[in-house]
Amino acid sequence: MNAVPSKDTLTASIGKMRSAATAWHTASQHLNNAQENIEDLKMTRIQMGIFQIPYAAYMDTTSFIQRVSKEGATQTAQVGDTLKACADKYEEEEKHNAHQIAGQY
């Protein structure tokens, strides 16, 4: 049987998990904002004027960055959601002494 962690240790660990979840959600929002802002960078052929040769590469690049930013926003939000759910569950179990009852410590 492992040593019983103190309430302060558990509270600090749960707090750190919640802080990490918040940081992941913040990163998700930044990536989401980035992919939305890329719309402003897209141009038409007329706007590109004499720079027609790099037009396709430019548009491919903006579309790629927008796509991976959106995917990154989704993935980082999922990490944040998972960390928050774990913290919530751990806190709930500790309120009911579930770990001690299960013989985990």
pLDDT in tens, 1-57: 566 666 677 677 899 999 999 999 999 999 999 999 999 999 999 999 999 999 999
The structural domains of the chain, with segments of one domain joined by +, span 67-105
| CA dihedral angle for residue 72, residue 75, residue 76, residue 82, rounded to 10 degrees | 180
Instruction: Please count the helices (runs of H) and the strands (runs of E) in the chain.
Output: 4, 0
Fill in the DSSP letter of residue 5: P
Mean pLDDT (whole number) for 76-88 = 97
For residue 4, give both structure tokens. 């019983």
Confidence (pLDDT) at 86: 94
Q: Is the pLDDT of residue 104 over 70?
A: no
pLDDT in tens, 45-77: 999 999 999 999 999 999 999 999 999 999 999
